[in-house]
Structure 1
């Protein structure tokens, strides 16, 4: 791959990630709140003891749904809170996606010369290497983003800035504090691998269908436009499958990144969640995550494909 091709993939990946992050930020905030340990609502129920006549209070713990969480944020914190963490997100998403797509494209090109080209094996290894590279280089940015999104404050209260958050993390945990949750992110590489294997498979089928179709020049233009719609559908389908399978790592990562948390490591957090909150806690926020991820991934991947297509003429 030439230097120009690498730069094209860097730029296209950055554009795709940025557009997707801006459009889906409110859903990202709601999802993060649902995943956290602070969102649990306690409802007290009063029952009468028919034998002694004494009343007994039983406290039931429930987790609000996405709409209830959204309503609480709007009522208590205002609409601006739905864009908490957007700054670090924009700072991180462009380099993260750029690094990811560049690493993925370079790795895939090298592996294609070693193995059979464009096989599932090539896509899996490429996605894994790209995910590991992007996670390692950008984890501090995502930790700050998560902390800001979890910083719930009422209307009128001064909100914590990104620089204040950085200072607090460094004062409490030092440099290692910026890498909390990275183990869960590494576990999440499995989601990326599954996503890209399915995506590349669907993409290959679409390309085969295109090459098998005979069209005149006018129809060819229409087909080119429909190709990008096909890429969006491929991205949405593959991401839905991957997210549903690998989602628990998202909840674990959010818990690890909470301030003053009792969670220490990936498996300790996983075990603690199941023991204290049940298996259902591992999928808290999944609906919101899917609602966000499907359009976000579709927008990101289609933007990436469009930019690469335009820059390569």
Structure 2
């Protein structure tokens, strides 16, 4: 009973601290989300991340770079809390079924956590994407989060909030790849000769920055491999488009625009996601370390 309570408190503390950090970083990365989201849509106006950012500033004003910040702040806290709580619990369960801390455990844990999180949070991300895709003339009034949600409900019903969910499920592969690489790199760093030869503060500092590098590398690899699902998901969430399903959208994009269309906005995605993930995972590991050290 005591152990179960301790585990629950540990998961809750991990979620709470990571949520605060995540909300803070969201405010600074949302403009990159706007730039990245502008690429996958069917209107090919932007040529690069920097040209895209400049185009948005000139045509829609600086406030447009922060479209979707509201639902981002609302969604990021429960999203990360749910994900890391599910990941920790799933890892605990799968360690009892498969070889403890094996690749199989990491894959099933990451996949399960991503499935639950995507299913619960898709309505919020749908509203965020719809707001980011809304193009207005500079100085004109834009819909806020509640107005956008009400508009989606009135025009498309409840099902409208789940547009792109199949693409999000396809994106679970990105999470699986990321965590599989990260857990292996973490294991390598733990067993590396440099880690065993250092002591105290120097060792903790080396481990922390090593984990940041491992997280950055794993996220970069995963994003490059699985990025096409981001393009398909954004197309599905456009209002009044010809895109109806995951497979139909993939075929249509490939036939009309070629395979390079599946990688539009990848650069903006990488410069947003890599540092973000590096901070999230290294902070998560630091919190776990501090909690375990405090428990001892």
The 1:120/1:12 distance shift into structure 2, 3 A limit, reads: farther
Q: Is the 8 A contact 2:10 2:291 kept in 1?
A: no
Q: Quote how far apart the aligned CAs of 1:308 are.
A: 3.2
Moved more, 176-185 or 198-207: 198-207
**Counterpart check, 1:27 vs 2:32:** yes
The 1:93/1:305 distance shift into structure 2, 3 A limit, reads: same
Equivalent in 113, 120, 128 of residue 103 of structure 2: 120
Rounded Cα–Cα distance in structure 2 between residues aligned with 1:310 and 1:252: 40
- What residue in structure 1 maps to residue 78 of structure 2? 95
SS across alignment from 2:278 = helix
The 1:308/1:289 distance shift into structure 2, 3 A limit, reads: same
- What residue in structure 1 maps to residue 274 of structure 2? 294
Q: Which runs of 5+ in 2 are unaligned?
A: none
Q: Quote how far apart the aligned CAs of 1:211 are.
A: 9.1
Rounded Cα–Cα distance in structure 1 between residues aligned with 2:195 and 2:143: 56
Rounded Cα–Cα distance in structure 2 between residues aligned with 1:306 and 1:84: 32
Rounded Cα–Cα distance in structure 1 between residues aligned with 2:206 and 2:31: 29
Rounded Cα–Cα distance in structure 1 between residues aligned with 2:21 and 2:222: 19
Q: Is the 8 A contact 2:61 2:139 kept in 1?
A: no
Moved more, 231-240 or 220-229: 220-229
Q: Quote how far apart the aligned CAs of 1:231 are.
A: 1.2
Question: TM-score of the superposition, structure 1-length normalised?
Answer: 0.88
RCO comparison, higher one (Cα < 8 Å, 6+) = 1
SS across alignment from 1:35 = coil
Structure with greater proportional helix content = 2
Q: Which runs of 5+ in 1 are unaligned?
A: 42-62
- What residue in structure 1 maps to residue 254 of structure 2? 274
The aligned length equals 288
- What residue in structure 2 maps to residue 154 of structure 1? 137
- Where does 1:70-85 land on structure 2 (aligned, <5 Å)? 70-85=53-68
Structure with greater proportional strand content = 1
RMSD, matched Cα: 1.6
Rounded Cα–Cα distance in structure 1 between residues aligned with 2:225 and 2:195: 34
Moved more, 18-27 or 139-148: 18-27
The 1:86/1:212 distance shift into structure 2, 3 A limit, reads: closer
Q: Is the 8 A contact 2:30 2:66 kept in 1?
A: yes
Q: Quote how far apart the aligned CAs of 1:311 are.
A: 4.2
